[in-house]
Structure 1
Amino acid sequence: MSHAETATVGLLHPGRMGGGFGGALVAAGHRVLWCRSDRSAATVRRAEEFGLEGVDDLAQLAAHSDVIVSICPPPGAPQVAASVAGTGFRGLFLDANGTTRPALLALAGNLAAADIRVVDGSVIGPCPQDAPGVRLHLAGDKDDVARIISLFEGTGIRALDTGGSLGAASALKTSYATYQKAAYVLAGIAYAYADAHGVIEPLIGEASLITRSPLTEVLEDDMLPSVAARAWRWGPELARCADALREEGLPGDPADAVARVLERWLPVRDAFDGDTRRALGLLDGRS
């Protein structure tokens, strides 16, 4: 299939995120199939809204699809893949479920045993129909990755090659989700504590002074050695924060957990001229 050609894509399943992806593919000129079996009325309405073509069962979807795209809750990804393997499908399978690298590799191994080629994908960003800018990061065989990228040419979805082998896109999702999802939860706890003590407005003022994400600063500004050097002081401070949070009936576990992580950096106490690689290595046991 050249990049100018259209394809028939089987979509499993058109939930909010999956439906948006299906709609983008339809808008790009592709035929998108979905399986009506055991799906809710809301899913049916969504599929119709995005111009997807319903088929009666998975076997029919697999028989007519060049590519199958799996976008479902991560715990269900292995079962979806196993069901596809049982249909005799021999095309290209994109798993875009934000699963972990070990889970993706196990899934890919099972599909490879059924002669199905796999591309590892991770979605970062909003549902395509809600806002622009969603990214689909891809990993695997370079030709297979290029084929997936070609499907999304001209859509609002940025399909990007990580340059890595199978598992790299899932590892990226794990890395990003660990920070991004935890950050929102921590922000909620912080504002709940501030609200209990009438200091939300000053906290908002402090937040407005933050112009860059720590996820950016920690490497681009070489901040990690400085953080590691302060760990011996920050750990006890966060332990006290955990106690204060619990006094208000708020969860102190996140602060306790961070305090325990900071203990790994005790060997580089006050080493402000330290090395980023050394700091990272202390986290994962390489140093």
Structure 2
Amino acid sequence: MSHAEAEAATVGLLHPGRMGGGFGGALADAGHRVLWCRVDRSAATARRAEEFGLRAVDDLARLTALSDVIVSICPPHHAPQVAAAVAESGFRGLFLDANGTTRAALLELAGKLSAADIRVVDGCVIGPCPQDAPGARLHLAGEGDDVARIISLFDGTGIRALDTGGSLGAASALKTSYATYQKVAYVLAGIAYAYADAQGVIEPLVGEASLITRSPLTEVLEDGMLPSVASRAWRWGPELTRCADALREAGLPGDLADAAIPALERWFPARDAFDGDTRRALDLLGGRP
């Protein structure tokens, strides 16, 4: 598809919330006509849509009748409801579910849309809202031509649209993988600082944090750290039990420390014997002896 063809697209956006509004604005700035539906939307949503240059329509049927592509960016637990409403509206174009739910949820949603003759692309967003900072990535999975169509829509925007190279469900699986780490990591950081604050050691903790130059998400594979972690799991388990007890004594939740222990226990049988074998560490964690 040429860039000129991409510029002619009419995109129905469901919905212009904080993330969706930024994506809609990026598409509008790139020359697309971006529509949104007023039904059940707040005054704040209306103001945001106007700010981003989106065009309002009065109902979903009108939006889907005018749109070549529907982009769904909403809270993941609302994604099936949004998709069902689009299917019932008679839409027969290309539907991008950019909600990054789970592989199973995406495949169930895609099956219902496909039964209504709607083509589906699986997507997930990683990175900041486009209006806040540059660098958002839209990872995509599905049929090659459909993925290419979505990528072309974002040509010239500040959003990087990337093909995972996988089938439907791959983008959602990527989001699940990334969110599992990112969201829990921020919660853990908050708990760590709260405990350090309560114990009067927040300044040295900040000093230690300043020495961290790489993310554990990078280190476990690129630096071969996962086998090292696995080989020490038999010692880390009891240590985390003590950490959980200390957190609770300070009035903080210890559940996240407790929750790591069953994962560590899967590595106990091979203590001190991984020899840098990342594959073996992953297999044991996944219950594959």
Same fold (TM over 0.5): yes
* 1:4 and 2:4 aligned: yes
* Unaligned residue ranges in structure 2 (runs of 5+): none
Match of 1:257 in 2: 259
Per the TM alignment, residue 4 of structure 1 is displaced from its structure 2 partner at its CA by 2.3
Paired position in structure 1 for 2:230: 228
TM-score, normalised via structure 2 length:
0.98
Pick from 8, 12, 15: which aligns with 1:13?
15
Distance 2:159 2:22 in 1: 10
Shift in Å, 1:119: 0.2
Q: What is the root-mean-square deviation in Å for CA atoms of aligned residues?
A: 0.8
Aligned positions of 1:258-277 closer than 5 A: 258-277=260-279
Question: Aligned residue for 2:126?
Answer: 124
Superimposed CA distance per residue, residues 213-246 of structure 1 (whole angstroms, 9 cap, x where no aligned partner): 0000100011111100000000000000000000
Match of 1:234, SS?
helix
Q: CA deviation at 1:272?
A: 4.2
Q: After the TM superposition, which residues 156-195 of structure 1 pair with which residues of structure 2 at under 5 Å, given as runs?
A: 156-195=158-197
Query: What is the distance in 2 between the residues matched to 1:207 and 1:138?
Result: 34
Runs of 4+ in 1 over 4 A off after TM superposition: none
State the shift of 1:98 in Å.
Answer: 1.7
- Counterparts of 2:193 and 2:89 in 1: how far apart (Å)? 50
1:88 match:
90
TM-score using structure 1 length: 0.99
Q: Distance between the aligned counterparts of 1:285 and 1:221, measured in 2?
A: 23
Matched AA of 2:3: H
Distance in 2 separating the partners of 1:164 and 1:132: 26
CA distance in 1, matches of 2:262, 2:75: 30
Partner of 1:134: 136
Give the distance between the partners of 1:123 and 1:268, measured in 2 at CA.
37
- Alpha-carbon contact 1:268-1:274 (below 8 Å) kept: no
1:201 alignment counterpart: 203
- CA contact under 8 A between 1:11 and 1:18: conserved in structure 2? yes
Q: Distance in 1 between matches of 2:64 and 2:276?
A: 54
Q: Deviations over 1:166-220 (max 9, x none)?
A: 0000000000000000000000000000000100000000001110000001000
Residue 254 of structure 1 and its aligned partner are, at CA, apart by 0.4
Following the alignment from structure 2 to structure 1, what is the Cα–Cα distance between the partners of residues 238 and 230?
A: 14
Match for 2:189: what amino acid? Answer: A
Query: What is the distance in 2 between the residues matched to 1:36 and 1:243?
Result: 51
- Name the CA distance, whole Å, in 2 between partners of 1:215 and 1:271: 22
Amino acid of the structure 1 residue aligned with 2:241: A
Sequence identity percentage:
86
Cα deviation code 1:251-278 (max 9, x no counterpart):
0000011122100001210114141111
Cα shift at 1:109? 0.2
Which residue of structure 2 aligns with residue 70 of structure 1?
A: 72
Is the 2:98–2:123 Cα contact (8 Å) retained in structure 1?
A: yes
Equivalenced residues, count: 287
State which of 246, 249, 271 in structure 2 corresponds to 1:247. Answer: 249
Asked whether the equivalents of residues 274 and 280 of structure 2 are also in contact (C-alpha less than 8 Å), the reply is: no
Alignment-mate amino acid for residue 64 of structure 1 = L
User: How far is the alpha carbon of 1:148 from its aligned partner?
Assistant: 0.2
**SS of 2:124 mapped into structure 1:** strand
Q: Secondary structure at the match of 2:179?
A: helix
CA deviations on 1:65-102 (whole Å, 9 max, x unpaired) are: 00000000000000100000001111000000120110
Structure-2 separation of matches of 1:123 and 1:162: 12
Q: Tell me, what secondary structure is at the counterpart of 2:212?
A: coil
> 5+ unaligned residues in a row in structure 1: which ranges?
none
| 2:151 corresponds to | 149
SS at match of 2:71: strand
Pick aligned residue for 2:285 from 267, 283, 286 = 283
1:226–1:271 contact (8 Å) kept in structure 2: no
